[in-house]
Structure 1
Amino acid sequence: MISLGVLFLLGLCCQILQAQNEWTAPILDARSPKKIGFGAVGGGSSHYLWVMEILQELASRGHVSTLYTRKDSLRFAKDYPNVQTQAIGGDANFLALKKESPGVVNPHFKHPNYSPAAGVKLILPALLANYSNEYNDYMSMIKRNKIDLMICDMFAFACIDATTLSKIPLTITSTVAFSEDATTGYVNNIVPSFPIPTTEYMTIRDRFKYFFHRVYSPYVSRQLQLPTHEFQKQQGLPISDSIYRSHQDAFKIVNNMFGLEVPRPLGPLVQMVGPILRKKYDALTPALTTFLDSHRRVAYVAFGQHAVPTEQDTEFLVHSLVQALKDGHLDGVIWASAPKHPVPVIPRATEILVTGWAPQFAILQHPSTALFVTHGGAGSVHEALFNKVPLFVFPFFGDQPVTARMVRQQYLGDYIPTAGIQYTKATLEELTERIRHVLTDPTIKKTVPHFGDAVQIRSLHAVQRAADIIEELTVAAIDGKVLHLSDVGRRISWIKRHNLDLVGVSVGFATGLGWFVCKVVRLLKISKKIKTL
């Protein structure tokens, strides 16, 4: 005879099995293969490689990912076998120095000291040189290939305009949060001519100057009478009158993080997903391995693909680094010199290794690397901080001067202002002192490892976060607009949005009340005088 206890246990097991059969799990049915393109007109690796990582991830999820760019920039896709490529916009990266106009972009690579208006005159014609053909190519390509979403680099104006007119979702990529929905009244976003990140330490004169150029620069660009502007008028497109155009319906993915960007509120269509790093990098060469293994405190010097140091730059930096070697703050230097860079003249009996191309990430990852002397490009800064290497920034152009100031503000290193630099004894002494400061300052030594940990954690799933955003946009957008991410403030008048009507009513009420009180007091005084007569 079965005991009551056994029957109870059997009944309990049946209930558990029945409850398990009643459970259900979420079913994902939103994902289907999409055609996703990325358009760019040039720039260095910081405009391409991190986006290629996102495209590779999207391809692994079953989407068709394609890079559309100038012919000489298709090389950025060589390590991404799942990403298709197609040349659009001609043969040359917009930064390539063309024989017919050798002076158009070259000065921008050095140490410009010009106003925003001058910057527009220098850069905008190069960006728009092939706009009409590029725009038509994008329009036909989007229609022919039935593209579901376009990712456009911040400088790819033709890509941006064609995507907008095609009414498909648009995502703009950059390493700086430049758009109107990423700025505030205290954040400066005209680079390179205003390298001060915020108004916190600006005088009222400088703030007026900044405000003037925000208004004046678009006017200057319209006076250039570029063929592109006439074409845009004919097509009913917005005029490209700024290097940094804002698009209120586009999503902006920024490969950066607060600390290197000024902390402030961002709009719902802006996401900082960075730093995004590559999955794999080139290893050290035997010669570099031997050099690094035989030293304990090495400075690594490199200026990226497009910055062009002058002979005086090179001479001053060599002098300062040799002094750091003499003082015992360093025991070695690796200097990576690009083909167009001046070759540094190295004093005898100094531990300085001059090389051509160098595996930058591997050098920064080596425990002997104690300092990175850099131009301040986004990719270089991210790689250094991931490996917890202090920075000395020698900026040239673009967002580099702003990054340099942020590096100092966050105690991640130091910099020297180079806009219109004068090669004097005082400048050399300042350069030497600031490099020494990075190597010896206890606050920098304490801060860099903590910030590096934050960079590492943020980079863990950065690619996946960005890919999730792209997938969300492909399924949620209606006629190119993502309504659930639209800022409600855009539907409210400027006066009501800033509660100026409440301020006006309050001021009016307070003024009226004050007037009434004054009248009453006055009447009481008159009444009192009458009684005393």
Structure 2
Amino acid sequence: MASKILIPLLLFTTIQNVTPARILGIVPTASYSHQMFFQQIWRELALRGHDMVVITTDPTGENLPNFKEISIKENYGPFRKLMDAYGSEHIISFLMSDKMVKLNMEVIEHQMMLPQVQEVINNKTEHFDLLMIEHFPGIYYGLKHKYKCPMIGISAIDGFPVSHGVMGNPVHGVLYPNSQLPFQDDLNFAQRLTTVIFGVFLKRMFGNIDVLIEDFARKVYKDDTMPTMEELFDQTDMLFVNANPLFTAVRPHTPSTINLAGGVHMKKPQPLPKDLEDYINSSPNGIIYFSLGTNVKTKDLSSKMLQTFMDALSQLPYKVLWKFDADTLPGKPENVKITKWAPQQDILRHPKVKLFITQGGIQSIEEALYSYMPLVVLPFFGDQEPNAVKVKAKGMGLTLDPYNLDTKEFKETILEVINNKVYKDNVKKLAERIQDEPMTPLERAIWWTEYVLRHKGAQHLKGPRIPCWQYYYLDVFAFLGGVIILLLGITFGVIKLLIKGIKKLCCCRKTKKIKKN
């Protein structure tokens, strides 16, 4: 029986084999959560015999024979300035500001002028068979023209509307709100108005940056024959997004867009370090794991917010393991242990962990899902607030505003999520549905990557792109409106002539009658 199963599997594997290729992966975002999402993909492609070269802000240092990492850690400096500004201002006013454009260009110019990046750009003997680039308007698309190879866009979150538009996916602000907006299904009028205005400002932002990028790209690539970055961006062959319709939103898309469905970065379980294992096991009631991710620096939070956290945690009948960005925390409660690094996936898998307090990054939520862990979400910026809205809507936990938080509310919310088993049941139910698929997210990513290699692109899977006035039938409505107006005009004209004729006829009869008399 086993041999009957094995033979088709071997045949399938043989059919899907692809000639080893040289692949360049580029993830310029200086955020570990973005980087770790792709690390498993790079590793798996290298293990399958492909030559992987990766430009990354967070190299793994893994020693594989055909795996090279080009570190651009220096990008954390200008990127941190951008994120600090983004987190401190209202999102729409920030998108409108010249400051945002200036900070974005500082990030781009800084990374493109790094010697290690310049070496990739100016190397005349290098070649690549495939580019895999984090997908948003930018400057790295000039490498597609340089290497004349297919390109896969990749995203650690759901794609921006501009990314979906490039692939021919329907883009509609109300049906499919931008993933950066904290909206769930059935938008009310105020939300529909907001999403339209946000879309206009987002388009303006990308437009302003594109103008500056275009000028800078000419200097960087030194190639007068190169198309514009927008034209090269439009040539994306396939798009990988970290989205799952069961959690994010149900949206139609063309075959060229692949939902990796979350969890692609999940690793096999590993034993916890002894100090963490002992600490978790020492709590008779279990523990709470508290982490605000890598982009929210806990050591830089206001003293008032930190005190609120500590006051609430000190009143709980649980020990707390808190991933904190410093070696010391003045006033730390006795039931709290801080650590600068934590193997989050393995901690969440531990049976004594009762709750995950998180900032709401999508990778953290995926790890909670795969560990059946209920959540309390404290969103700060970016996609965290929209994710928090979804967590609450799905019944996976509760969300609180970290900037307007009091001790009693924080404590009661934690106890509610721990003691009410409906939250854990909802997480488990959603996780089981998400995992009920014919292949894992990582297998899907590898299969479609090699599909693009086998067919030297995937433009044939993309949908048509039409201007918005055609998408919304404005020309059709204008034509039909014109026809209706014309018909009404003719009708009223005919009626007017008939009335005039009838009046004239009546007038003639009246005149004849008078003459007879």
- Distance in 2 (CA, whole Å) between partners of 1:109 and 1:217 is 13
Point out the more displaced range, 131-140 or 396-405: 131-140
Aligned to 2:417: 438
Q: What is the total number of aligned residue pairs between the two structures?
A: 475
Provide closer, same or farther for how the CA distance between residues 110 and 436 of structure 1 changes in structure 2, counting only shifts above 3 A: farther
Provide closer, same or farther for how the CA distance between residues 225 and 447 of structure 1 changes in structure 2, counting only shifts above 3 A: closer
Answer whether contact 1:256 1:273 (CA < 8 A) is retained: yes
State the shift of 1:285 in Å. 2.9
Aligned to 1:84: 67
1:81-126, Cα deviation, whole Å (9 max, x unpaired): 35511426xx53422x3xxx79734625865545223444434422
- Distance in 2 (CA, whole Å) between partners of 1:373 and 1:312 is 18
Secondary structure at 2:284 match in 1: coil
Provide closer, same or farther for how the CA distance between residues 427 and 286 of structure 1 changes in structure 2, counting only shifts above 3 A: same
2:458 is the counterpart of 1:482: yes
Provide closer, same or farther for how the CA distance between residues 273 and 313 of structure 1 changes in structure 2, counting only shifts above 3 A: same
Q: What's the % identity of the aligned pairs?
A: 21
Answer whether contact 2:139 2:229 (CA < 8 A) is retained: no
Among 375, 390, 405, which residue is 2:359 paired with? 375
Alignment TM-score, normalising by the size of structure 1: 0.75
2:142 is the counterpart of 1:161: yes
Aligned to 2:219: 231
The CA RMSD measured in Å over matched residues stands at 3.8
Answer whether contact 1:251 1:269 (CA < 8 A) is retained: yes
State the shift of 1:170 in Å. 1.0
Aligned to 2:400: 416
Aligned to 2:482: 508
- Distance in 2 (CA, whole Å) between partners of 1:322 and 1:388 is 25
Answer whether contact 1:315 1:344 (CA < 8 A) is retained: no
Aligned to 1:60: 47
Answer whether contact 2:137 2:233 (CA < 8 A) is retained: no
Answer whether contact 1:54 1:464 (CA < 8 A) is retained: no
- Distance in 2 (CA, whole Å) between partners of 1:29 and 1:322 is 56
- Distance in 2 (CA, whole Å) between partners of 1:196 and 1:460 is 30
- Distance in 1 (CA, whole Å) between partners of 2:431 and 2:239 is 25
Point out the more displaced range, 386-395 or 269-278: 269-278
Aligned to 2:440: 461
1:390-439, Cα deviation, whole Å (9 max, x unpaired): 12222233322222222223222222345xx35xxx65555445445534
Secondary structure at 1:94 match in 2: helix
Among 333, 342, 355, which residue is 2:339 paired with? 355
Aligned to 1:335: 322
Answer whether contact 1:407 1:414 (CA < 8 A) is retained: yes
2:293 is the counterpart of 1:312: no
Letter in 2 for 1:213: F
Among 385, 388, 405, which residue is 1:401 paired with? 385
2:331 is the counterpart of 1:345: yes
Letter in 2 for 1:87: I
Q: Whose helix proportion is higher, 1 or 2?
A: 2
Letter in 2 for 1:307: V
Aligned to 2:514: none
Aligned to 1:16: none
Aligned to 1:216: 204
Provide closer, same or farther for how the CA distance between residues 437 and 58 of structure 1 changes in structure 2, counting only shifts above 3 A: same
Answer whether contact 2:374 2:417 (CA < 8 A) is retained: yes
Q: Matches of residues 230-309 of structure 1 in structure 2 within 5 Å? A: 231=219, 235=223, 247-275=234-262, 276-293=264-281, 294-309=283-298
State the shift of 1:140 in Å. 4.2
Specify every segment of 5 or more residues in structure 1 that has no aligned partner in the other structure, as ranges: 1-24
Specify every segment of 5 or more residues in structure 2 that has no aligned partner in the other structure, as ranges: 1-10, 511-517
Aligned to 2:153: 172
Secondary structure at 1:214 match in 2: helix
Among 437, 447, 451, which residue is 2:426 paired with? 447
- Distance in 2 (CA, whole Å) between partners of 1:460 and 1:313 is 43
Answer whether contact 1:274 1:458 (CA < 8 A) is retained: no
Provide closer, same or farther for how the CA distance between residues 399 and 135 of structure 1 changes in structure 2, counting only shifts above 3 A: same
Aligned to 1:389: 373
2:15 is the counterpart of 1:28: yes
Secondary structure at 1:414 match in 2: strand
Secondary structure at 2:460 match in 1: helix
State the shift of 1:472 in Å. 0.8
- Distance in 1 (CA, whole Å) between partners of 2:79 and 2:443 is 41
2:120 is the counterpart of 1:138: yes
Provide closer, same or farther for how the CA distance between residues 171 and 202 of structure 1 changes in structure 2, counting only shifts above 3 A: farther
Provide closer, same or farther for how the CA distance between residues 343 and 199 of structure 1 changes in structure 2, counting only shifts above 3 A: farther
Answer whether contact 2:156 2:242 (CA < 8 A) is retained: yes
- Distance in 2 (CA, whole Å) between partners of 1:131 and 1:339 is 32
Provide closer, same or farther for how the CA distance between residues 233 and 381 of structure 1 changes in structure 2, counting only shifts above 3 A: same
Answer whether contact 2:49 2:66 (CA < 8 A) is retained: no
